[in-house]
Amino acid sequence: MTVDGGVDASDDRTYYVVSDLHVGGDEQLGDVEFLDELLVFLEDLEHTDENAELVVNGDAFGLWEFTTVEGIEKFDVLVEEYPELFEQLRATGETVPITMLPGNHDHELAAFDAYVERFAAYNVDLVQDVSIERRVGDHVVHFEHGHQQDPNNRIEDWGNQHATPLGYYYNTLVTSRAGQLSDRGRYNWLKDVQAVTPTERMPVWLFSKYFYREMNPLLRYALLPFLLLFNVSVVLVVLVGLDLAGVWSAPVTWTTATLGQFGTAGTAVWFLLAINVAATGIVLLVGVPLYFLRRDVRQTIERFGVFETDLTVDHEAPYQRAARETFADGEDVRVFCHGHTHRPSVQSVDGGVVVNSGTWLKRLHRRDGVVGILPPVFYPSYQLCAVCIEADGGDLAVEHESVKKPNPSPEELTLTERLLTLGRQPDPELPGPVVVERDGSVRSLAAERAD
């Protein structure tokens, strides 16, 4: 077996691939909520009868998120904080080869040669290259973490311990700081910052958690009626304006007469609507000119090209492009396996498939409000999985195997969040299994199994 990016001569192995574990980090980031499931997964591999290999395809550890220690000292901290994990790696590695590639969060694994020796003591073969390839049956599988396709996290000088792409600053200044501050909140939620993807969602996520979790409850419940009825209030503002202008008074007259029939309750509703109309009118008076001002400022900034680079990478197109190039360069390469974007997927491209191995962190699903202008709710779930790649005759079978873990407790969401997402809870499904045939064409196994 080669460990320098070459192709493994063995073709009868079953390969299991995991990525984006992000184990470790400052303070609250060190809480690994899937540790029990990871230990069971590794223990099952330890006792398997298969001729298997485990590929940890980058970002196994959150080394960028350690800001109080430097270099190889981070390994000592990891072993001290997660002794069960490293002992299980040692035990599993005695029966099943474990190959680890660096990602962007743990690029330091490629920068210090001492890491190779340290991991070898736990039966982990750390490969300090960008990618590796393995022959499986008649095909070749290409493994890389995927951050090299992301302009904000690409390491231009691979293996340089001083490499600091844009993502480095975001994680050392924002993510690690979130880990240090998370336990100061009303609920320990800030540590989930790593699960917020794409990064553009960060301001919205922070505002959402402030509103539903940190805002004084009295203030939040006072704002709820106004925010829920905002859309209705906008219509009422227009109707009141028409009434005051003497253009059309029927709607206001009808509403007043109707509510008057309900006595005290109708009067209470009338006052509530009046307050909402007044508040909405003020918001509109201020908001309309601010909208045009914001639009003009944004156009000016775009003319000067101040912000030409997006914060995050497209999670599909760059990998499809890289896969096509890889397939063209390697005659037998049929699978391009990566992680990085935290989205488990299988996509067919010319010549083979692009496979994303997902993440073991939480996934946050945005649920926008059905009415009003309430902040969106970010509903958490787990979608733990390992990609299984094995020969199927002369073809290649690829399947995301689920690692069972209960979804986060509903108590992670406030009562308001749970009510606003009632009936809209996410139920994400892993991609169905596929077979890559000799010519690179792809067929779905899910349909065949259903038949």
Sketch out the chain's domains with CATH numbers: 7-189+191-196+311-450 (3.60.21.10), 229-304 (no CATH)
pLDDT category at 302 given cuts 50, 70, 90 is low
pLDDT tens digits, one per residue of 112-150: 999 999 999 999 999 999 999 999 998 999 999 999 999
**For the residues 163-192, what does the mean pLDDT come to?**
91
pLDDT tens digits, one per residue of 266-275: 788 777 777 7
- pLDDT for the residue numbered 4: 43
pLDDT category at 230 given cuts 50, 70, 90 is confident
The label of the residue with tokens 């499809």 reads: 320
pLDDT tens digits, one per residue of 335-347: 999 999 999 999 9
pLDDT value at 323 more than 80: yes
Angle between helix axes 230-244 and 217-228 (nearest 10 degrees) is 60
CA 140 – CA 6 distance, rounded (Å): 11
**For the residues 177-186, what does the mean pLDDT come to?**
90
pLDDT tens digits, one per residue of 81-113: 999 999 999 999 999 999 999 999 999 999 999
With vertex at residue 163, the alpha carbon angle to CA 161 and CA 165, rounded to the nearest 5 degrees, is 150
- 153 by Cβ neighbours in 10 Å (0-12 / 13-18 / 19+) ranks as buried
Contact between 87 and 131 (Cβ < 8 Å): no
**For the residues 410-436, what does the mean pLDDT come to?**
93
